[in-house]
């Protein structure tokens, strides 16, 4: 993890949006604190730890309303959402 001290805060405080079964389990928004430089995968791991034992479906994660890859970095102010399997149509 590379970042320059002084330009990057040491922790990220995020309000993560949740939907459907994940919202039922954890609420529609959850506050998450992660080290600066954390990734989408880190966010998901943090939330998954809170629901261990349950069998929630594996979600995707959206960053700023776009589907993100697990390796994508999270920045301050990003809008993060947990997207359980969609069922529109």
Partner 1 sequence: MRSAIVERPLDPTALLAEVADTGSGASTLFVGTVRRVNQGRDVTGIDYTAYGPMAERELAAIVAAASERFGTERIVVEHRIGALALGEASIVIAVSHARRAQAMEAQRYVIEEVKKRVPIWKREHYADGTREWVDPTAAGAAIPAGTARAATGAQ
Work out which of 9, 35, 70, 85 binds partner 1, going by CB under 8 A.
85
Residue from 30, 40, 43, 84 touching partner 1 (CB under 8 A): that is: 84
Binding residue count for partner 1, defined by CB under 8 A: 25
The C-alpha atoms of residue 40 and residue 13 are separated, in whole angstroms, by 14
- Which one of 4-12, 19-27, 37-45, 68-76 is the stretch in contact with partner 1 (CB under 8 A)? 19-27
Q: In the window 33-52, what residues touch partner 1 (CB under 8 A)? A: 51
Q: Cα dist. 64→67, 68, 74, 77 in Å?
A: 8, 9, 10, 9
Q: Which among 73, 74, 44, 76 has a CA at the least distance from the CA of 61?
A: 44
């Amino acid at each position: 993890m590379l970042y320059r001290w002084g330009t990057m805060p040491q922790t990220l405080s995020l309000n993560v949006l949740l939907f459907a079964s994940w919202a039922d389990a954890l609420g529609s928004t959850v506050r998450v604190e992660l080290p600066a430089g954390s990734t989408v995968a880190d966010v998901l791991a943090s939330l998954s730890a809170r629901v261990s034992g349950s069998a929630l479906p594996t979600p995707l994660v959206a960053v700023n309303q776009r589907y993100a890859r697990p390796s994508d970095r999270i920045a301050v102010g990003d809008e993060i959402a947990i997207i359980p399997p969609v069922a529109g149509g």
